[in-house]
Structure 1
């Protein structure tokens, strides 16, 4: 079925959702009927070509929202200040990017959570087709290609080499998932994982407002103090969610789930018990390497978050009156 590149909703429902639930399944308390209704309500792709169309639509929509929000925010600031500046446009673009990213992460994390926790997993999470997973991968592909990466390169405040490289690799992975490996694990890696991105995006935006407000002229002390209080509330929430999702859960799913399943799929192909195409074999091998490196990257980013929070706490304590 994967070799043909065609995966329809009927195939998905017949192959996965009609299978009775076992008592050990995390969704065993849900009936198969409710699972079927939930899956039918989720968007799908029916072929790699359809996935590319979804990617183009998602990317263009995200880029359009970026432009509209940037323009609106810049006009609002210009209306107050009276004259446009490069920093005004830069700040507006950064904030617009945060808003679009937040919308995208809410969409993906919501769909990923539904697919990962509330639908029955297929027998083979690597090779069995997930049409909704293919749709999610297509959205990620288009968003990175047409909106996120170009915006991150254009906007100086977003021009972080490690993040851009990470997103380029993610775009490649999304392309693989869209075209040849629309697997069940997409629900987790492109969905559940992004639950931690929601507080992180908000925290980064508040931090950006604090930094840019400090650069403004005029009496902004009250505004900075309010934003700093919000930041202090968001900091532990962001760190905890990142630790639970990106460090603990990501590592567990990768080490105990994805890597063994991927290895088993390659062994099955070598034993001729499952037919996969050469591109699929290469794709699985690439995904194994990428997921291993991403696991290490999550730990590195977490150490940076902890260090940043420590520095902010030390700065707050030193600036507070004795």
Structure 2
């Protein structure tokens, strides 16, 4: 418990969380009280969350890719768990901060963001970040910062286009209806928003399948799971066993989501084929 409390008061954690929360509240105020009528006024917290998520996901993806692909040196099994990667630890603190002080509380307070599976996913990420920082480990020393740039940064590439796509999802009725109305009117703004949405959907599918459906399981199965299991046995640390379980479950979750995307793609392609047949007949 003391380790968790120490993590919550880390200067970078607090800075990250408070910056995100402050920006969210400012955007919420603008959308709710000063903006003209529109879906942003009916869903101010959800809109503020997505507006902030876009640059935030871009930042952590950039930082993760920079370290993982360019600055991370190959290490042996023990080294991958115990080596200190400063950029990985810093990224973990940023992620811990915005999850703890902004994303999870706002998700609980905003009906449009209140997804139980996503909440569990984000709590799991909070735990992972806490272990990387070292605050949740028995040793109170960072563990797995070698992997942090990948699991807390690189794989979030798909979250960049998703931040936009999710705004117009049919489950968010006000935004979905707004876009459909603009398309019916053949307005310029409707055409632009829909064009960006179509491109973002394609990018999301490509990036998700590439980084989360293929690359994520590869890293997890080829090295990460075994590394953390061996470290957990050597140190008898429940937190490291927890990372092993979390990595296993997260891998299954990525596979589940990836298969859903593949099914949607197949369904869409079959629909296009049926349309062509109808036109030819």
Structure 1: 5+ residue stretches without partners: 6-47, 270-275
The corresponding residue for 2:56 is 104
TM-score between both structures, scaled by the size of structure 1: 0.69
* Greater Cα offset, 130-139 or 221-230: 221-230
The corresponding residue for 1:63 is 21
The corresponding residue for 1:126 is 81
Structure 2: 5+ residue stretches without partners: none
The corresponding residue for 2:218 is 252
Measured after TM superposition, the shift of residue 253 of structure 1 is: 0.3
CA distance in 1 between partners of 2:66 and 2:179 (Å): 42
Write the mapping of 1:161-310 to structure 2, written as runs, cut at 5 A: 161-178=116-133, 179=135, 180=137, 181-182=142-143, 183-207=145-169, 210-213=175-178, 220=185, 222=187, 223-266=189-232, 269=234, 276=235, 278=236, 281-308=237-264
* Greater Cα offset, 105-114 or 176-185: 176-185
1:198-256 per-position Cα deviation (integer Å, ceiling 9, x unaligned): 12212222445751416879x75535454333322222221111000001000100000
Measured after TM superposition, the shift of residue 50 of structure 1 is: 9.6
- Contact map agreement 2:35 2:41 (CA 8 A) in 1: no
CA distance in 2 between partners of 1:241 and 1:98 (Å): 19
Would the alpha carbon gap of residues 229 and 103 (structure 1) be closer, same or farther in structure 2, given more than 3 Å must change? Answer: closer
Would the alpha carbon gap of residues 130 and 232 (structure 1) be closer, same or farther in structure 2, given more than 3 Å must change? Answer: same
CA distance in 1 between partners of 2:32 and 2:260 (Å): 32
TM-score between both structures, scaled by the size of structure 2: 0.79
Give the helix-richer structure, 1 or 2. Answer: 2
- Contact map agreement 2:65 2:154 (CA 8 A) in 1: yes
CA distance in 2 between partners of 1:75 and 1:311 (Å): 42
Q: What secondary structure is seen at the aligned counterpart in 2 of 1:73?
A: helix
Q: How many matched pairs? A: 257
Q: What secondary structure is seen at the aligned counterpart in 2 of 1:147?
A: helix
* Greater Cα offset, 143-152 or 178-187: 178-187
- Contact map agreement 2:7 2:130 (CA 8 A) in 1: no
Q: CA RMSD in A?
A: 3.1
CA distance in 1 between partners of 2:61 and 2:94 (Å): 12
Would the alpha carbon gap of residues 143 and 289 (structure 1) be closer, same or farther in structure 2, given more than 3 Å must change? Answer: same
Measured after TM superposition, the shift of residue 148 of structure 1 is: 0.4
Determine if the alignment matches structure 1 residue 146 to structure 2 residue 101: yes
- Contact map agreement 2:179 2:193 (CA 8 A) in 1: no
- Contact map agreement 1:95 1:205 (CA 8 A) in 2: yes
